[in-house]
A and B are shown apart, each in its own frame.
Chain A
Amino acid sequence: MPDLLIELFSEEIPARMQARAAEDLKRMVTDGLVEAGLTYASAGAFHTPRRLALSVEGLSEASRDTVEERKGPRNDAPEKALEGFLRSTGLTKEQLEIRDEKKGQAYFAKITHKGRPAEEIVAEVLEGAIRNFPWPKSMRWGAGDLRWVRPLHSILCLLSDEQGARVVPMQIDGIAAGDVTRGHRFMGPDEFTVSSFEDYEAKLKRGCVLLRAEERAETIWSEASSQAFAQGLELVEDRGLLDEVAGLVEWPVVLMGEIGDEFLDLPPEVLQTSMKEHQKFFSVRDPKSGKITRFVTVANIETRDHGATILAGNGKVLAARLSDAKFFWENDLRVVKEGGLEAMGEGLSNVTFHNRLGSQSDRVARIAALAREIAPQVSAEADEAERAAKVAKADLRSEMVGEFPELQGLMGRYYAEAQGLSPAIAAAAQEHYQPLGPSDAVPSAPVSVAVALADKLDTLAGFWAIDEKPTGSKDPFALRRAALGVIRLVLSNGLRLSLVQAIKDHLKVLAEHIDNAPHVHDVPDFELESYYDERPWLRKVGNFVSGLGDIGEGHSAVEGWDELLEEADDLLSFFHDRLKVHLRAEGIPHDVIDACIAMPGNDDLTLLVARAEALAGFLKTEDGENLTQGFKRANNILTQAEEKDGVEYSFGADAKFAEASEEKALFAALDGAQPKIDAAMASEDFASAMAAMASLRAPIDAFFEAVQVNTENQVLRRNRLNLLSRIRTTCGSVADLSKIEG
């Protein structure tokens, strides 16, 4: 059983692509080998900045012979048919077999496919893998047509066993496979031959290349930690950076350097971000002060001066970068101290948010108005929420965020603190962007919640108003994420909020802002159509605005208003869709949610979810399941009767017409349960309402068992149908059970 070793040696592969590429190589090659009839014991993939490698152990020598059986013509068929069969199978008439069939006899052929040697299969599979490799981005080079992530220089492809190693003969666009590779670009540039995987890894190490990424990462981490520890400091953990840096070097050499004193007062996040983004440096913290005081850089080379030149050069670049950061920081602080975040945010009026939704400052004004409206409902102080919203995005105009967009929000918080704004406002500057995704933390401070909700609702209502809704996989404005953000904010804070009302109110605010809509007033009626033809997005909103202003006779203001309001309902159903996705992840099936959405107050998501949770819990019980069946049976009989009779049976069921004891018992049960259900519903205690309903299950089952609803006696029949109607109403008070599947 030979082992297979492959190395694809190229110019520097982007760090972020290496791990995935190694896995892809392993998958493509091993799948290909197996598909061609080979087996193997185990396989491992490796990557460095300049090479992808694959080791496959215990590969079969060759694929096995396979025998294919094929049925031919009947033995009394014309000679021509037999000739054709012989030609297609490559056999002679003597090699065929004649077997009995249902009707007469037929020829059968056994064709043996010879197994193929591993070499042949490996060459074919590897070529296919190289040509079809799924790089995120690939390129051509020189005069060739081959594509790889960067120019591919050599291919090593070996089969080795006790007898030794043999090169798998193959060639791809002029690159012939061999048994040769080389080590580190500067420290081990000479070529060497390889006889097995163990030999390969060992010789690479001698050539100053650590083949295994995890070994490089471990070396970096332990060396950096111990250097930091020796100085009484600690390394700031950053797994993503560690993996990236491990992909940038073949021979990691850890060097620790100092950060100039003049930079130590910068916020630690600024130091960390600048060093990481620009230079891939790790941060080293002084545990006593919490400050970042040193950096760790990872070089790819050992030098005779033990890295002194490299460290000095890196330190110089860092100082230049941090001088910039310090300059930004000091300028920003000056602006804030002189005119507050308000002054810093002035330039937002020059920044377009979206060409149909006005500037960032328009948007900030809208968010502030909305945050003020929402504030009382989230226990925030209205003035404070409004103030927080007004300054929350000012840091977008800071020089620091201009340089490091990922620091948005955080810088706002620092600057708000520097300005002496309340801690709640400072926190809102940072937290109002949250939650950014399904796993991001949800703010709970009332002012942060108010601004976060206003921010997201403005985005959603705005894009709905101009009809830029997500379609299929296209969601360029991340509206699904915004909607999920609203959902999580509402649910995790238990907020009671009418979304539709908030959206409708906000659409009114939006209408005033969109494209500075007031100029619609100035358009004479006879030009209005051509005006709208040029600005179709204003049609809806313009109608609405001109209606408000009582200007522009000849087009219906009422129509425009209704149309715009419909968007609120449409947006609500978008929220419901996102909510279904969110709740499905928490184990609540979609039909349960649909049954609850059908009830009033469905734009109060907290109420809606409380209902859905109670219903989901109830349906898991035996009573719940049977009650649902009983409800459906009642509903079906009733619906059919109503259709047939053309009347609605909804009132007047009277216990005095009850005959059977089961019928009487059901009346009694309904009478007994109703007050309990009403009381529970009044206090939105859905679980108790469901529990009261559960007591109806046995009487309903018994009723259907013993009583025939559609009896000859019309008086009894009408009374019973009206009784069914009571079941329908009572059972439907928590949710529309007809939506429950199964």
Chain B
Amino acid sequence: MTDAPRSFQEIILRLQSYWATKGCAVLQPYDMEVGAGTFHPATTLRALGANPWAAAYVQPSRRPTDGRYGENPNRLQHYYQYQVIIKPSPKDLQDLYLGSLRAIGIDTSLHDIRFVEDDWESPTLGAWGLGWEVWCDGMEVSQFTYFQQVGGHDCRPVSGELTYGLERLAMYVLGVDHVMEMPFNDPDAPIALSYGDVFRQTEEEYSRHNFDTATTEMLLRHFEDAEAECAKILSQPAEDPRTGKRIVMAHPAYDQAIKASHLFNLLDARGVISVTERQAYIGRVRALAKACADAFVTTEAGGATA
């Protein structure tokens, strides 16, 4: 399949069907505000423990500090990542990845595809891995990572993670210079919509909100609430008094960690966090993520044997 896709959504659909044929469970986005696809529990938590796993999904991601009121050709406070995670990482993961580029119309005999060293680290998740950023004709189109540690736990087996920045990749494939001009659906559809038709206004609204309006006292309070709630959830005894079953609430606790992380990002965008405080906040989010990872590995999905 080397015919060129015609729209943003066609690229997404082709990735979905490609990874589906390669055996991935095609999941849906996580229903919370996250900074990157990695935060989805299908990656963060499922990278832990011994159970095999293969999933692919689109994840809407928010980076409040990247808001540019919809004016910058390629910076957005809300954008999409495409995420693939396979555990254990298969031997032919690089080839599988290259196949996905061909699937979206990138002819690998015409372009210069390169794997350039890039070690990945997420201080907020207590996670790191080794891999590359993948370049296509000098442009970074994906992150390719072999997870070594998540939430402070060694990954055994190792998961292979692929992250595609969908807007940037699609702009390149479709030959569009400004993200807002990118066709979202087919340009020949009866109601053809551009990316700007869908998102220009929201980029403006959220940029204003994130930079100037979000109430910082409330955000701080919510951050502390989320932190406290996470600890409270994890402090419950493993045995559920209602059912008598062992139910460790790793996922509900992790939701609170996600919340804290997003609140921190918003506070950062509001410019109320100093350089020294920054490290402390990151450390607090990491502590939550670690506690959730600790809890998850005691569950069945986390590979614990009863």
- In the complex, whether A310 has a CB less than 8 A from a CB of chain B is yes
- Whether A142 lies near B138 (C-beta < 8 A) is no
Bound CA span A303–B137, Å? 12
Interface of chain A, main secondary structure: loop
Chain A nearest Cβ from B131, distance in angstroms: 8
CB neighbors of B among A589-605 (8 A): none
Q: A139 and B137 in contact (CB under 8 A), knowing A304-B110, A320-B74?
A: no
Per-residue CB contact flags for chain A residues 293-305 toward chain B (1 = under 8 Å, else 0) read: 0000101110111
- Whether B274 lies near A299 (C-beta < 8 A) is no
Bound CA span A11–B132, Å? 10
List residues of chain B with CB within 8 A of the CB of A149: 130
The residue from A15, A49, A310, A318 contacting B112, defined by CB atoms under 8 A apart? A310
The residue from A141, A143, A313 contacting B137, defined by CB atoms under 8 A apart? A313
- In the complex, whether A248 has a CB less than 8 A from a CB of chain B is yes
The residue from A141, A143, A153 contacting B146, defined by CB atoms under 8 A apart? A141
List residues of chain B with CB within 8 A of the CB of A139: 129-130, 146, 148, 158
- Whether B157 lies near A142 (C-beta < 8 A) is yes
- Whether A313 lies near B139 (C-beta < 8 A) is yes
- Whether B112 lies near A299 (C-beta < 8 A) is yes
One of B14-22, B84-92, B209-217 at the interface: B84-92
Bound CA span A393–B110, Å? 47
Bound CA span A11–B115, Å? 9
- In the complex, whether B275 has a CB less than 8 A from a CB of chain A is yes
Bound CA span A140–B157, Å? 8
Bound CA span A118–B132, Å? 38
Q: A310 and B132 in contact (CB under 8 A), knowing A153-B91, A317-B139, A355-B276?
A: no
CB neighbors of B among A39-54 (8 A): 49
Known: A137-B119, A140-B158. 18 other contacts (CB 8 A): A12-B117, A14-B117, A49-B115, A139-B146, A140-B156, A143-B88, A150-B146, A151-B91, A151-B146, A301-B113, A303-B109, A303-B110, A303-B111, A304-B109, A304-B110, A305-B110, A312-B137, A313-B111
- Whether A12 lies near B172 (C-beta < 8 A) is no
- Whether A248 lies near B116 (C-beta < 8 A) is yes
The residue from B88, B94, B116 contacting A11, defined by CB atoms under 8 A apart? B94
The total of chain B residues at the interface (CB under 8 A) is 38
- Whether B111 lies near A150 (C-beta < 8 A) is no
CB neighbors of A among B241-275 (8 A): 274-275
The residue from B114, B117, B148, B158 contacting A300, defined by CB atoms under 8 A apart? B114
Chain B nearest Cβ from A422, distance in angstroms: 33
List residues of chain B with CB within 8 A of the CB of A49: 115
Chain A nearest Cβ from B214, distance in angstroms: 20
- Whether B111 lies near A142 (C-beta < 8 A) is no
Chain A interface size, under 10 / 10 to 19 / 20 to 34 / 35 or more:
35 or more
List residues of chain B with CB within 8 A of the CB of A143: 88, 156-158
- Whether B117 lies near A15 (C-beta < 8 A) is yes
List residues of chain B with CB within 8 A of the CB of A312: 137
The residue from A140, A142, A318 contacting B148, defined by CB atoms under 8 A apart? A140
> Number of A-B pairs whose CB atoms are under 8 Å?
101
Closest A residue, CB atoms, query B137 = A313
Per-residue CB contact flags for chain B residues 88-124 toward chain A (1 = under 8 Å, else 0) read: 1111001000000000000011111111110100000
- In the complex, whether A176 has a CB less than 8 A from a CB of chain B is no
Q: A300 and B112 in contact (CB under 8 A), knowing A317-B139, A320-B73?
A: yes
- Whether A150 lies near B130 (C-beta < 8 A) is yes
List residues of chain A with CB within 8 A of the CB of B26: none
Bound CA span A318–B148, Å? 33
Bound CA span A150–B73, Å? 35
- In the complex, whether B136 has a CB less than 8 A from a CB of chain A is yes
- In the complex, whether A621 has a CB less than 8 A from a CB of chain B is no
- Whether B138 lies near A317 (C-beta < 8 A) is yes
List residues of chain B with CB within 8 A of the CB of A279: 138
- Whether B89 lies near A142 (C-beta < 8 A) is yes
- Whether A142 lies near B88 (C-beta < 8 A) is yes
List residues of chain A with CB within 8 A of the CB of B156: 140, 143
Chain A nearest Cβ from B95, distance in angstroms: 9
Closest A residue, CB atoms, query B107 = A309
- Whether A310 lies near B148 (C-beta < 8 A) is no
CB neighbors of B among A294-351 (8 A): 297, 299-301, 303-305, 309-310, 312-314, 316-318, 320, 350-351
- Whether B138 lies near A313 (C-beta < 8 A) is yes
The residue from B90, B112, B116, B274 contacting A352, defined by CB atoms under 8 A apart? B274
List residues of chain A with CB within 8 A of the CB of B116: 12, 248
- In the complex, whether A114 has a CB less than 8 A from a CB of chain B is no
List residues of chain B with CB within 8 A of the CB of A584: none
The residue from B137, B146, B172 contacting A310, defined by CB atoms under 8 A apart? B137
The contact sample of 5 A-B pairs, CB cut-off 8 A, is A140-B148, A301-B112, A301-B113, A303-B109, A304-B110
Per-residue CB contact flags for chain B residues 71-90 toward chain A (1 = under 8 Å, else 0) read: 00110000000000000111
Bound CA span A248–B115, Å? 8
Chain B nearest Cβ from A144, distance in angstroms: 8
List residues of chain B with CB within 8 A of the CB of A249: 114
Closest A residue, CB atoms, query B91 = A142
The residue from A16, A297, A304, A355 contacting B117, defined by CB atoms under 8 A apart? A16
- Whether B108 lies near A137 (C-beta < 8 A) is no
Bound CA span A598–B276, Å? 44
Of B111, B117, B160, which is in contact with the most chain A CB atoms at under 10 Å from its CB?
B117
Closest B residue, CB atoms, query A189 = B95
- In the complex, whether A186 has a CB less than 8 A from a CB of chain B is yes
List residues of chain A with CB within 8 A of the CB of B157: 142-144
Bound CA span A186–B114, Å? 11
Closest B residue, CB atoms, query A138 = B130
List residues of chain A with CB within 8 A of the CB of B94: 11
Q: A186 and B109 in contact (CB under 8 A), knowing A14-B117, A137-B119, A139-B158?
A: yes
List residues of chain B with CB within 8 A of the CB of A313: 111-112, 136-139, 172
- Whether B115 lies near A310 (C-beta < 8 A) is no
List residues of chain A with CB within 8 A of the CB of B130: 137, 139, 149-150
List residues of chain A with CB within 8 A of the CB of B177: 316
List residues of chain B with CB within 8 A of the CB of A310: 110-112, 137-138
List residues of chain B with CB within 8 A of the CB of A317: 137-139
Chain B nearest Cβ from A33, distance in angstroms: 30
Chain B nearest Cβ from A205, distance in angstroms: 20
Bound CA span A316–B136, Å? 12
CB neighbors of B among A11-65 (8 A): 11-12, 14-16, 49
Bound CA span A304–B137, Å? 15
Closest B residue, CB atoms, query A153 = B91
- Whether B137 lies near A314 (C-beta < 8 A) is yes
The residue from A142, A309, A314, A316 contacting B158, defined by CB atoms under 8 A apart? A142
Per-residue CB contact flags for chain A residues 156-178 toward chain B (1 = under 8 Å, else 0) read: 00000000000000000000000
Closest A residue, CB atoms, query B90 = A142
- Whether B110 lies near A12 (C-beta < 8 A) is no
Q: Which 9 residue pairs are nearest across A and B when measured between Cβ atoms?
A: A313-B137, A14-B117, A314-B138, A12-B115, A143-B157, A299-B112, A143-B88, A142-B88, A139-B130
- Whether B158 lies near A318 (C-beta < 8 A) is no
Per-residue CB contact flags for chain B residues 196-222 toward chain A (1 = under 8 Å, else 0) read: 000000000000000000000000000
Of B112, B117, B155, which is in contact with the most chain A CB atoms at under 10 Å from its CB?
B112
List residues of chain B with CB within 8 A of the CB of A153: 91
Bound CA span A186–B109, Å? 7
- Whether B276 lies near A352 (C-beta < 8 A) is yes
- Whether B138 lies near A12 (C-beta < 8 A) is no
List residues of chain A with CB within 8 A of the CB of B274: 350, 352
List residues of chain A with CB within 8 A of the CB of B129: 139
- Whether A351 lies near B137 (C-beta < 8 A) is no
CB neighbors of A among B123-168 (8 A): 129-132, 136-139, 146, 148, 155-158, 160
Of A142, A186, A299, which is in contact with the most chain B CB atoms at under 10 Å from its CB?
A142
Closest A residue, CB atoms, query B172 = A313
